[in-house]
Amino acid sequence: MPSVILTLSHAKGKDPLPVTLPVPFGVRILVASRFSGKNPLTKAPTNSPTKSTTTPHRANVTDEVPVVASSGSHHGRVAAAIGTMVHSGLEHAIRGIAFHPQETWLRICDANLIDDRDATVQEALNSALDQLRDVLESKTWNDLIDRFPRRRAEVPVLFLDARRNLHSGTIDLLLDNGNANSDSTQAPSEVLIVDFKTSHVEDDLRDHAREHGYFDQVASYAETLRTTWPDAKIAGCIFYTRPPQTVDVPL
């Protein structure tokens, strides 16, 4: 299986860590006009001079990064930004597309109304990158994704609650044993729904997931997928990132 290199670097200049990720067959890795033949998952140097009076890295931010506008306390907004950053990094790794930490973080900070120049916010960026790096290096993560040839990130779904009210949601990671070619219509026989949670939990993870409604959420996704793949064995898990570990969802 082909692989790509994702380089993660700290805001304070600590040594970057290259992480090699397998890329499923059929995933489009780069667009030549954007990346000009360079490794799309390696952050380009930012010390080259520019004549523009606009902050260069803000001017180049694209709309590919998911952001969540947040209200509430500063601490709450920073926590939300960390979670969004980790989700974004994992999504890019799953899709095998370029991930630019600094640009992504600026966009997330703007959406959450926090100042990226604040020292505590810089520490939050380092925390998010540490968390992302820990996940991508973990046996838990690699064992999980190695089980399935087809991997899809941020899959939108519509589902009904217990009162038959219609809701929309997003499956963070959808794994199945169908053909890894993204254009394939082959129905899988085995499917796994993965829901990421980036908060640190000191209590029993299974109790935490149940009490916060995570089991019900994944069960709703599973019910929806059964209408598409009625013969597939569908399972679910909650993937806690701090530290990386999973909790199976009873379905």
Question: Quick one: pLDDT at residue 178?
Answer: 87
User: What is the Cα–Cα distance from 102 to 7, expressed in whole angstroms?
Assistant: 12
List CB contacts of 98: < 8 A, sequence separation 6 or more: 30, 34, 35, 40, 41, 92
Q: What is the pTM (predicted TM-score) of this model?
A: 0.71
Q: How many CB atoms lie within 10 A of CB 84?
A: 24
Same domain, 47 and 120: yes
Same domain, 166 and 122: no
Same domain, 119 and 164: no
Q: Which domain holds residue 73?
A: 3-137
Same domain, 92 and 19: yes
Question: Quick one: pLDDT at residue 39?
Answer: 30
CA angle 135/139/142 to nearest 5° reads 75
pLDDT digits (tens, 9 = 90+) for 67-117: 455 557 888 999 999 999 999 999 999 999 999 999 999 999 999 999 988
Is 142 inside any structural domain?
no
CA 195 from centroid of its chain's CA atoms: 10
Same domain, 73 and 171: no
Is 211 inside any structural domain?
yes
Which parts of the chain have pLDDT scores under 50?
Answer: 1-12, 14, 16-67
User: What is the Cα–Cα distance from 224 to 192, expressed in whole angstroms?
Assistant: 13
Task: Give the number of domains in the chain.
Answer: 2
Same domain, 9 and 115: yes
User: What is the Cα–Cα distance from 9 to 217, expressed in whole angstroms?
Assistant: 34
Same domain, 217 and 132: no
Same domain, 176 and 122: no
List the CATH number of the domain containing 224: 3.90.320.10
Same domain, 89 and 181: no
Q: What b-and-e string marks burial along 220-235, b requiring 16 or more CB atoms within 10 Å of the CB?
A: bbbebbeeebeebebb
Is 143 inside any structural domain?
no
Same domain, 125 and 34: yes
Same domain, 9 and 117: yes
Question: Quick one: pLDDT at residue 109?
Answer: 94
User: What is the Cα–Cα distance from 233 to 26, expressed in whole angstroms?
Assistant: 24
Q: Note whether 65 and 88 are within 8 A (CB).
A: yes
Same domain, 120 and 179: no
